[in-house]
Amino acid sequence: MTLDYIIVGVGIAGISFCEQLRANGKTFVVFDNASQKSSTVAGGLYNPVVLKRFTSVWKSSEQLDLALPFYATIEDRLNVKLDYKMPVYRKFASLEEQNDWFAASDKPSLSRYLSPKIIKNDNTAIDASFGFGEVLETGRVDVKTMIEVYKTDLLKNELLFETSFNYDDLKIQGKGVNYKNIKSTHIVFAEGSGVRQNPYFNNLPLVPTKGELLTIHAPNLKFDYVLKAGVFLIPLGDDLYMVGATYEWKDLSHETTKKAKEQLLDKLKKLINCSFEVVDQVAGIRPTVKDRRPLVGKHQEHESLFVLNGLGTRGVMIGPYVAKQLYDFIEHKAPLEKEIDINRFKS
């Protein structure tokens, strides 16, 4: 079998790059053993504003301009609903926060996304006496469903190997690679925190961060926006809400913990005052980087080996953007942005 690309990993990064290959008529196969769960436990929010500081997300408009058509294309091709448009409401804790919001909404980089109106809270199940600020052009991508249907489609077209990638079987030969019975011009590693076991890219400063989410059933909560206040609450339909997320750097297992559940419930109970039931809890390891920029680029010695990783907590926004950057870098020799190029860590 002779191909243009081998992709390792089918999370947000891997899917984003696969879509670049599809759009440009390139041949590829994917290897994935479902061991990395950062994408499957992602909240899936796309939000162009850092709500803790009322600042703009890096390259937010460029990312959104690529991401929204990207998910629409997958929806159309696979006949599935993935993108749920909904505003994000930021709860205000004080009049001072309201004033900070007004000041931020006047900034040219944020005026597109921050509504200057204060929304009064009329939901008796939510404690928000100072009201909310509304972020525009936001929503949620159902990442779990996307990965499931995408893998099903890959399997149907005999493009997915549901098995671990064995680095020892990778042979680098001239301007390409051989992997078992597959010859490929390029290989792209999009394996999330699994890159720590990758002998070609394990020197990258990836910081694995465990995150846990709860799903609650709350029949009396009744709202249809994303609520951010210490935790985020995302409506899923049928009176179900996602609650997240935690950050843990020591325990990097995929097991859920009582500690994380208690942390989330403590914050949740300060936000809502209606009854609810926890119906699910999930954990995954996010591939984060200290400078909060992805890890994109080419191996220093091997021309055919590339990495696409470190999407962090905003993967649904940044994934399509950096996947296009990597594709243009490989195929058209376009330079990578210095902020995402792995060469920024070159000693």
Q: Classify domain 88-137+207-287 at the CATH superfamily level.
A: D-Amino Acid Oxidase, subunit A, domain 2 (3.30.9.10)
What are the respective helix, strand and coil percentages of the chain, to the nearest 5? Answer: 30, 30, 40
For 58, 107, 169, 312, the CA distances from 7, given in Å and listed in that order, are 26, 41, 15, 19
Computed over every residue of the chain, the mean pLDDT equals 95
For 2-42+144-205+291-345, CATH number?
3.50.50.60
pLDDT digits (tens, 9 = 90+) for 170-193: 999 888 999 999 999 999 999 999
What local confidence, expressed as pLDDT, does residue 229 receive?
Answer: 94
| % of the chain beyond a pLDDT of 90 | 90
User: pTM for the full model?
Assistant: 0.95
Torsion 329-195-151-11 (CA) sign: negative
Amino acid (1-letter code) at residue 77:
R
255: left (phi over 0), alpha (psi -120 to 50) or beta: beta
pLDDT digits (tens, 9 = 90+) for 204-259: 999 999 999 999 999 999 999 999 998 999 999 999 999 999 999 999 898 999 99
Residue of 337, 66, 26 whose CA lies nearest to 187: 26
The first and second tokens of residue 78, run together, are 């696979």
Contact status, residue 250 vs residue 259, Cβ threshold 8 Å = no
DSSP 169-220: GEEEETTEEEETTEEEEEEEE--GGGGGG-TTTTTS-EEEEEEEEEEEE-TT
Q: How far is Cα 288 from Cα 208, in angstroms, rounded to an integer?
A: 6
Q: What is the mean pLDDT of residues 88-92?
A: 97
pLDDT digits (tens, 9 = 90+) for 98-127: 999 999 999 999 999 999 999 999 999 999
pLDDT digits (tens, 9 = 90+) for 19-66: 999 999 999 999 998 775 666 677 899 999 999 889 999 999 999 999
Q: Give residue limits of the domains in the chain.
A: 2-42+144-205+291-345, 88-137+207-287
What local confidence, expressed as pLDDT, does residue 174 receive?
Answer: 84
Q: How far is Cα 135 from Cα 304, in angstroms, rounded to an integer?
A: 42
